[in-house]
A and B are shown apart, each in its own frame.
Chain A
């Protein structure tokens, strides 16, 4: 009974609009990430849900209750703050027990709950310390513990893993997903780390400039970005985006840029000839043969694969990615082609809408192609 619904929620700070008419339907028990660059309004959105910030207009609903007029303590939520916000004068144990204490939970029960949560977060040896005697990562886990110790309807997490080292972050990611599965509670998770969002979420809400850009499962956000911003924001290394022109002849679309002319698949009805943008992910660039030629400019070796940056004749740069044993030397001239099934066409502008139609069925198709590719390679 705890879906979370934002209907046309707007937040203004003075004349500055931090969140524009946000509509978001988060299902009960869903793990949703708010993902976006710094300053895009993620924290503001979360704080409105927590009741720490009041929407300038619109409604927020948790379960069956519109919570606009409910105090944070009445919303049955728990939150992990970006800055931890641990009570400095209380021990770790008291910090974690505090929300229970304020809700009138008996001492014995409190202690049991704290002990259990501390065990989960590997905090047991630290229970009698004060927050200032902890490292940043430990403090963050205590903050997480203070939220997890209760069983609220919705968990709100504001970049809870940002200060952990890579190994602990990986561990906590798995733990959180596992925890979410076990508790079955709705979780709203703010992050600017796409890896976190991609690996943990049921759905990702990509935000930018206070506007919702796309709200979809991770695979969909990756494979079918709603617009050019999402395409460029998601994926490391990022999608190659090239500006050029779209022309139509006999019902067939062609994208052309200096030194490049590509036939493109079926487009949406709204597509218009004129300036447009061609996007292709590094894994869909096939280096070795093809109609396009370029010069290898940079090769980045990550161990299991190599990222190859190629300068095209028209001056554009393009990123490709190949398994580790294959490599190219800098300055080498190569030919390449694109997996046009996975290439995208966006309308002009930084937030130009994606114009190509989805290739269905996506996942099967994708699997299929991968195997075909492997076969051709071997």
Chain B
């Protein structure tokens, strides 16, 4: 093997460069530039409407670490992300397993299941706010009728109800993604593996744990990583549902960034929060890359 590049190799290399150049340019414009300007802004104290301010060095960061708001938001973000992700995965796998069976309404159910995922967040939140409403909401009405509660419950205005409601709506909205991804994988597991397991004496439960789950492992790693990142930075649903309230009990990091930037008009501080968020997500990314590199999968 000579290290000298042949003419053909050089021609391929040039063509390759030419083909990826537009992507790289656009990537720089919409990702790299905003990223660096956020980092840049986080060292300034900036008044949002004028975008003018002065260099303050690391003081945004030290303030961030000292005030309770950041830690509170981080805690909320973790609770929300873990809670909703957990439900999404359990619900997603469960329903995917059901839909994988040969039931007659399978194709109809498969399209219906996508409904929450495709519906616009604003519409979904409006509907859920109706359902949750303490005066005329159907949820309270039903719960009272069945006799579980005596007085209407405040689903969104008190804790821990608000956080639970946010987590439930999040799980409802995003579990279809898990269903679709898991279902696609389930369909590609060869039937003969199950047959071999049957002959080897494995019952339904053993078949799930010994055949299905190991086969789902790779896709689950991807789903969990993607959903964790997406849930971590979820903004619109939570903002519309509770606005971060009551007080700031459901205020997650993205809401905090928004509040700093556009309510408190401190773009510098908001950038600092955003940069820290990015660093945390970088950890997810590194774990993900490690996981997928460890073992090329099956």
Contacts and interface: CB of A to CB of B under 8 A. Distances in A.
Interface of A: 50-52, 71-73, 77-79, 81, 83-90, 98-99, 102-103, 130, 132, 146
B199 A50 contact: yes
B211 A73 contact: no
B193 interface: yes
Contacts of A102: 200-202, 206
Closest 10 CB pairs of A and B: A85-B192, A99-B200, A102-B201, A89-B214, A85-B196, A73-B201, A72-B198, A88-B298, A72-B199, A52-B195
Nearest to A73: B201
Contacts of B193: 85, 87-88
A146 B211 CA distance: 16
B202 A73 contact: yes
A79 B196 CA distance: 8
B201 A51 contact: no
Q: Is the interface of B mostly helix, strand, loop or mixed?
A: helix
B63 interface: no
Contact of A85 (B190, B202, B215): B190
Contacts of A73: 198-203
Interface of B: 190, 192-193, 195-203, 206, 210-211, 214-215, 217, 298
Given A81-B195, A98-B210, A146 B200 contact: yes
A103 B199 CA distance: 11
A146 B196 CA distance: 10
Contacts of B196: 79, 81, 85-87, 146
Q: Which of B199, B217, B298 has the most CB of A within 10 A?
A: B199
A72 B211 contact: no
A89 B190 contact: no
Contacts of A84: 192
A90 B199 CA distance: 17
Contacts of A85: 190, 192-193, 195-196
11 contacts: A50-B195, A71-B198, A79-B199, A81-B196, A83-B192, A85-B190, A88-B298, A90-B214, A98-B210, A102-B200, A146-B196
A175 B206 CA distance: 33
Q: Which of B196, B206, B217 has the most CB of A within 10 A?
A: B196
Nearest to A84: B192
A88 B298 CA distance: 6
B218 to A, nearest CB: 10
A83 B190 contact: yes
Contact of B200 (A88, A98, A130): A98
B190 A132 contact: no
B195 A72 contact: yes
Contacts of B298: 88-89, 130, 132
A104 to B, nearest CB: 9
A269 to B, nearest CB: 47
B201 A78 contact: no
Contacts of A99: 199-201
Contact of A52 (B198, B200, B215): B198
A21 to B, nearest CB: 25
Contacts of A72: 195, 198-199
B208 to A, nearest CB: 13
A107 to B, nearest CB: 17
A303 B195 CA distance: 45
Contacts of B202: 73, 98, 102
Q: Which of A73, A85, A88, A146 has the most CB of B within 10 A?
A: A85
